Amino acid sequence: MKQIYLDYSATTPVKREVIDTMLPFFTEVYGNASSIHSFGQEAKTVLEQSRKSIAETINATPDTFYFTGGGSESDNWALKGVMRANRKKGNHLITSKIEHHGILHTCTALEKEGFEVTYLDVDAEGMISLEALEAAITDQTVLISIMFINNEIGTMQPVKAIGEIAHKHGVLFHTDAVQAYGNVKIDVNAMNIDLMSVSGHKIYGPKGIGGLYIKKGIRIQNIIEGGAQERNRRAGTENIPGIVGFAKAAVMADEALESHREKLIYLRDKLANGIMATIPYAKYNGHPTERHPGNVNICFEFIEGEALLLSLNAKGIAGSSGSACTSGSLDPSHVLLAIGLPHEIAHGSLRLSIGDFTTEEDVDYTIESLKEIVQKLRLMSPLYDKVLKEGK
């Protein structure tokens, strides 16, 4: 059966060019980048080249970019590191209700340490309010952390304006750009970003490697102590193959950004429009224009997301859901609840995320399959009775 992968927001395949760049570093240039012999110094050289390449894609200097073990570690580091290091300045952090759990669960942990966190609401399209943000700032506020692009509904926040407000009040601004990096052009300077989390496996690079941009001069504590790697800020033998692969993927993404976006937006709109035109009782979530180029998120009334995913999978289509049932949690996704969806609708959500290897046929086939599946599941659903009987 043909396999159609529409879960690029969960993770991406590693591009051939990326693997080819990584391979020599497993078996040939395998030295520890901190060693002074040739094996080590060669590794050190490519380490610093990789850092430079990535820094350039976000208009940063190399000494502001630190490699980590992934987006979650970066999120934890940014928030815990900045809040703990700046206790003297204040104990207040502002974030939003729709952040990734890498941020939200870190906030919970910080609350247990005595920090105060404001969780901003979002509107029906997933946008925070700049007025509410500014109003939430107190003289205790140290950091604002607002994600660049939401992983579920794809909504893109006005990052530059958020940074402006932060800086006007002398507050630092972190953004979780794990979904944005490689999908929109990011300029940390022009966008007033002080700290930014990114991850390799979302941009056709390897898993287990990520990064944190930390503007110069920012006070931040370590979360992984030990050797002096990453200029004394993140211990652990450098994952050179991962770093080299991440850098290659980052440069490829940066170079092809425009065509990548155009392609994704075209397929995304085709997919979303196709579904909305053929399946009734469906709601397109997220912002109509300010959104991830490859993100489609739709709720189908009367049915549950996991059943939808399993049925799609049986037809070879890989999607994802903010459904609670996929995870065993009682509540549906906090993001869908935050945009005001009632539980029963939020349970029926489907995220299809498009990427560089998606084809027009994939999209057509998906629309067709989805129509059948939704109909089949609805006929099984006690909630659909009303519609059948009353025409609703």
Ligand X SMILES: Cc1ncc(COP(=O)(O)O)c(C=O)c1O
Catalytic residue numbers, as ranges: 325
| Nearest distance, CB of residue 101 and another protein, angstroms | 6
Site for ligand X in 321-350 (CB under 6 A): none
Cβ 61 to a second copy, closest distance in Å? 22
Taking CB under 6 A as the criterion, the residue among 44, 51, 80, 100 binding ligand X is 100
Question: Of residues 208-237, which lie at the interface with ligand X (CB under 6 A)?
Answer: 210, 236-237
Would you say 61 or 329 has its CB closer to ligand X?
329
Beta carbons of 243 and 67 less than 8 angstroms apart: yes
* Least distance between ligand X and beta carbon 70 (Å): 3
C-alpha 190/C-alpha 164 separation (Å) is 10
Residue 235 vs 265, nearer CB to ligand X: 235
CA–CA separation, 111 and 247 (whole Å): 35
What DSSP state is assigned to residue 129?
P
Looking at beta carbons only, is 303 or 339 nearer to ligand X? 339
- 34 forms part of the interface with another protein (CB under 8 A): yes
d(CA 239, CA 47): 9
Coil, strand or helix at 157: coil
Tally DSSP H helices, then E strands, for the chain.
Answer: 15, 12
Residue 71 interacting with ligand X (CB under 6 A) = yes
Least distance in angstroms from the C-beta of 86 to another protein: 24
Question: Of 362-391, which residues contact another protein (CB under 8 A)?
Answer: 379-383, 385
Between CA 246 and CA 241 the distance in angstroms is 8
- Site for another protein contains 314 (CB under 8 A): yes
Does position 31 interact with ligand X (CB under 6 A)? The reply is: no
Burial (CB count within 10 angstroms: exposed 0-12, middle 13-18, buried 19+), residue 155: buried
| 45 interface partner picked from another protein, ligand X, a second copy, none, CB below 5 to 8 A per type | another protein
Buried b (16+ CB within 10 A) or exposed e, 98-112: bbbebbbebbeebee
Applying CB under 8 A, which part among 14-22, 180-188, 263-271, 318-326 lies near another protein? 318-326
The alpha carbons of the chain give a radius of gyration, in whole angstroms, of 22
Single out the segment in contact with ligand X by CB under 6 A; choices: 172-180, 213-221, 359-367, 378-386.
172-180
Q: Cα(286)–Cα(296) distance, rounded to whole angstroms? A: 8
**What is the per-residue burial (b if ≥16 Cβ within 10 Å, else e) of 310-339?**
ebbeebebbbbbbbbebeeeeebbbbbbbb
Contact between 102 and ligand X per CB under 6 A? yes
Alpha carbons 23 and 19: distance in angstroms, whole number: 6
**Tokens at 207, concatenated:** 């898993």
Residue 61 site contact among ligand X, another protein, a second copy, none (CB < 5 to 8 Å, cut-off depends on kind): none
Q: Is 80 in the site for ligand X (CB under 6 A)?
A: no
Binds ligand X (CB under 6 A): choice among 21, 199, 285, 358: 199
Q: Which stretch binds another protein (CB under 8 A): 9-17, 86-94, 244-252, 261-269?
A: 9-17
Report the nearest approach of ligand X to the CB of residue 160 (Å). 18
Integer angstrom CA distances of residue 339 from 134, 157, 343, 346, 350: 20, 14, 11, 10, 15
